[in-house]
Structure 1
């Protein structure tokens, strides 16, 4: 394959960096992140202004819980209507699993809600530690999958292990 050398200005490299994907890689092949003076956003609006939508990776969850890939064009991110866009299909699948786990967790709790501020009673939490699911006792570490008894936590883990694994680092 024939290779060619191109000239890339710092301004153009900054523009490419903001576009992400292969454009970002191209910018980083010519300049360091320090040279590109990349600043992390401080607000959602700032993020939307600085980082365009990147396709085909970004997607959203449709009305029938289907994952919809973004159109092939790249456009500016809207801070109001693009809040439901996720960076990848894998991320969308993890969020769908988390939503299901949320409903199931509340069903298994049967109205019980953990009090992490005042109550020093143990809660039984399903955690992912070094890719191994465990049940830990805690009275001071908030945990999404926390239950009022070890037996309920074990039953939940046994019944929904696959969903918990699919939710991945969202747990």
Structure 2
């Protein structure tokens, strides 16, 4: 039996293209689908802007700068999720906004505390850590790691709050602006 035919063997009314168009029109009325498309388009726009400016950026900075950036990012991107102990992910879950605000405060306090502990550790053991991890290329930038940790945690907290309050346009705009 042909997929376009109905159960009784008769051809389905309208073409499959018309049914697809109608499903898309109905889907665009769906708030969930619009919100998903908003976030996806913001992320895609951000990626397109990054790709468009990549030739310019690679002309300005040499391969050494990219190596230092890559090493620095590999260290910091391992530490950013630890900065707030992944509590920001739970911000969208509570039924009451008061509980979610409590998670925001807890996440921010943890991010400040862990960034301060990281700064203290770097101050006391930075040279030894650089030697053991064999990342001497980022030694001048070590004290930026706690700042990046806190900033990354704060960004995650703000992003989760925006998801909770369903402000997806702001999230997309921030992705493009970033």
Indicate the TM-score class for this superposition, using the shorter chain for normalisation. Answer: under 0.3
Q: From the CA coordinates, give the structure whose radius of gyration is larger.
A: 2
Name the TM-score, length of structure 2 as normaliser.
Answer: 0.25
Name the TM-score, length of structure 1 as normaliser.
Answer: 0.25
Larger RCO (CA under 8 A, 6+ residues apart): 2
Whichever structure has more strand as a proportion of its residues is 1
